[in-house]
Chains A and B, each alone.
Chain A
Amino acid sequence: MAGFDKRVNSYEEAMAGIESGMTVAAGGFGLCGIPENLIAEIKRLGVKDLTVISNNCGVDGFGLGLLLEDKQISRIYASYVGENALFEQQMLNDEIEVILTPQGTLAEKMRAGGAGIPAFYTATGYGTPIGEGKEVREFNGRPHILEEAFHADFAIIKGWKADRYGNVVYRDTAQNFNPLAATCGRITVVEVEEIVEPGELKPDQIHTPGIYVDRIIQGSFEKRIEKRTVREA
């Protein structure tokens, strides 16, 4: 890593510096657009007591579900979990703390964290268990609750293509939380399907500008499908 060249050559290098007790923000929606190799590297490293910020927590044996096997996650902020038996079991045993967060609020907390906004008001969750204990303020006659921004030690991201400057584009709905998580990490690591030469990505088509990105690695991906639904040709 030198200057603006953010490429690293191994997953070991990509996740260097991660320690037990850290907070990790991850991109992905279900199994779509998840940084599958970076997650696998975290499993290999065996760091524990992680706080994870992610919309979901993978499935048994894949995605963030991998980190449940050795109980590496002690707390998770997510909007929807429990697609996996191991997660349910750890939740029922109080081995994992789950802070359910409305999906739009989760996205905005990531965005705010990356954009230097410490907190924001939203009507989402007012009058529900999510609003309990949170500051309430009325705007235009409607009550809103105060939600605080997320900050992560590491952000782990799955992109489609990137250049060595760390400019990233995503493909189709694999974009989801990735550009947001990318902004709120102290160290942001992006794995992509292809690293291209600078200039190949059109500057006005970049989703995540390189300023947010610290490390880039090219990987190969399984891209597992959670619910394959097809129509007759």
Chain B
Amino acid sequence: MALTREQMAMRVARELEDGFYVNLGIGIPTLVANYVPDGIDVMLQSENGLLGMGRFPTEEEVDADMINAGKQTVTARPGAAIFDSAESFGMIRGGHVDLTVLGAFEVDQNGNIASWMIPGKLIKGMGGAMDLVAGAENIICTMTHASKHGESKLLESCNLPLTGAGCINRVLTDLAYLEIKDGAFHLKERAPGVSVEEIKELTAGKLVVPDHVPEMTFD
């Protein structure tokens, strides 16, 4: 069975470490905040200038001056800091964020990522994605392994215009957890009940498969 969005978020959350500063993109990455393991404290960075993003506000707490990078109303947790956009991207570009989680349309075996533009469709912009992928050393990309039509999104070389070159080192899809190094995807884990053969079939890029590929477990 392919992972649900929630299971994908749960799996990514296992990569969190106590004391991590983390930037979560829109979509599945946002859900990761719901699965921070017990006993682990992380600070969420929102690139509009908030380090220490808290919960959504109650109706009474809603404040137009307090939003996240997805433009949702949020709160600041105790210990939060607020700053301007240059400072925010200074900490991103400068490699101070410990983990970045974001979605993508395609990734390839050389760590290239395409996530912002489909030629012929309306282009809304890259927002902070290019800065995030260029600045972070530790990025997990969450995406479905293949399109609805069964076309692989893990490629030899991205077809779509890039968001960043050579910057992705880990990918969590609905079928597998993979690392990217030395010009190949390295299969590390598979979703419960998903066979190595299925993953091979849906991975267009070079795939390195070890003798044993553990199955992910979820409570």
A residues with CB within 8 A of B: 29-33, 55, 78-83, 88, 91-92, 100, 102-108, 110-111, 122-130, 160, 171-180, 207, 223-233
Of residues 73 through 91 on chain B, the ones whose CB sits less than 8 Å from some CB of chain A are 73-74, 76, 82-86, 88-90
Which of A103, A174, A207, A226 neighbours the largest number of chain B CB atoms within 10 Å of its CB? A103
User: Mostly helix, strand, loop or mixed at chain A's interface?
Assistant: loop
Interface residue tally for chain B (C-beta within 8 Å): 55
Q: Is the CB of A230 within 8 A of B93?
A: no
Q: Which of A104, A126, A179, A223 contacts B65 (CB 8 A)?
A: A223
- Shortest Cβ distance from residue B106 to the other chain A in the assembled complex, whole angstroms: 13
- Shortest Cβ distance from residue B111 to the other chain A in the assembled complex, whole angstroms: 11
Which of B49, B57, B92, B135 neighbours the largest number of chain A CB atoms within 10 Å of its CB? B49
Q: Is the CB of B125 within 8 A of A108?
A: no
User: Can you list 11 residue pairs at the A/B interface with Cβ under 8 Å?
Assistant: A29-B67, A31-B64, A55-B85, A81-B124, A100-B123, A102-B130, A103-B131, A128-B161, A172-B82, A173-B48, A228-B62
Q: Which residues from B are CB-within-8-Å of A175?
A: 49, 82-84
The answer to the question of B55 belonging to the interface, with a C-beta cut-off of 8 Å to chain A, is yes
- Least CB separation from A158: chain B residue: B65
Q: Is the CB of A104 within 8 A of B128?
A: yes
The answer to the question of B40 belonging to the interface, with a C-beta cut-off of 8 Å to chain A, is no
Q: Is the CB of B134 within 8 A of A79?
A: no
The answer to the question of B217 belonging to the interface, with a C-beta cut-off of 8 Å to chain A, is no
- Shortest Cβ distance from residue A77 to the other chain B in the assembled complex, whole angstroms: 11
With A29-B85, A102-B126, A180-B85 known as contacts, the answer to whether A225 contacts B62 (CB < 8 A) is yes
Q: Which residues from A are CB-within-8-Å of B124?
A: 80-83
Of residues 86 through 116 on chain B, the ones whose CB sits less than 8 Å from some CB of chain A are 86, 88-90, 92-93, 112
With A173-B49, A233-B60 known as contacts, the answer to whether A100 contacts B86 (CB < 8 A) is no
With A79-B128, A124-B130 known as contacts, the answer to whether A227 contacts B72 (CB < 8 A) is yes
- Shortest Cβ distance from residue B26 to the other chain A in the assembled complex, whole angstroms: 11
Q: Is the CB of B48 within 8 A of A127?
A: no
Which of A102, A107, A130, A225 neighbours the largest number of chain B CB atoms within 10 Å of its CB? A102
